[in-house]
Amino acid sequence: MAEVDQEDLGIETDERVDAFHDDLLSEYPALEGLTTADAEASPWSMTPEHVPGLFVITLMGFSDAPKVAPFVVGLAEAHGLVCFDPQAMRVHNPPDIVAPDVPRLDFCDGGIVADPRPGELPELLGQVDHRNWFARLETRPGWFMQVGVGERAGGLPDGVFGLEYREGSADRHFRVLVPDTDAMVRAFQDYAEGHERWKDALDWQPLA
């Protein structure tokens, strides 16, 4: 990689990037200097590339990603840094830089999408799976629509979504099982657009 001239980039460096890099390698050391056996056991495809004060690029084996990627995202959040996952095309923003007065879509893996557009929701919600099993679109505190899948969402079978919405208080919390990805996404899109037709489209039941 060509040397980066930080002054030419016109941006300030941030020591939090370097602290993140140090903590990352404390958990998963650089490949250089490892024994052959330790290098084969390492999650890294190559040692994380670090440009001091600017960024860190990580490349890991596919089989290691379910364990290591959440650690990387959580560590970036702990240091107040943004983490971009090019595989999922998702930006993980630390909570303190997400505006508190706009809708936000939160995933159980720590991903946060501020003010998602309805047209983005099919792709975003397509990332909900048995590993990243939960997503919530909150419009204001206590008002949200959420979806879960699999064992942690009540032992749901494959292909079934547990869809819920809440309007402020526990007595306004409802749930429905949806065996249709398109219907689940449409409910989220209508909710994001401020329509209420999603209430009539599904057989909602009080959660209490």
Q: Which residues pair with 205 in a beta bridge?
A: 175
| pLDDT tens-digit readout, 32-56 | 989 999 999 999 999 999 999 999 9
| pLDDT tens-digit readout, 110-131 | 777 888 899 999 999 998 998 8
Domain boundaries, the chain: 6-92, 98-206
Overall pTM > 0.85: no
For residue 99, pLDDT over 70 is answered with no
Q: How many Cβ atoms from other residues are within 10 Å of residue 106's Cβ? A: 18
pLDDT score recorded for residue 65: 85
The phi-psi region of residue 194 (left if phi > 0; otherwise alpha if psi is between -120 and 50; otherwise beta) is left
Q: How many residues are given for the chain?
A: 208
| Amino acid found at 174 | F
How many angstroms from the chain centroid is the CA of residue 90?
Answer: 7
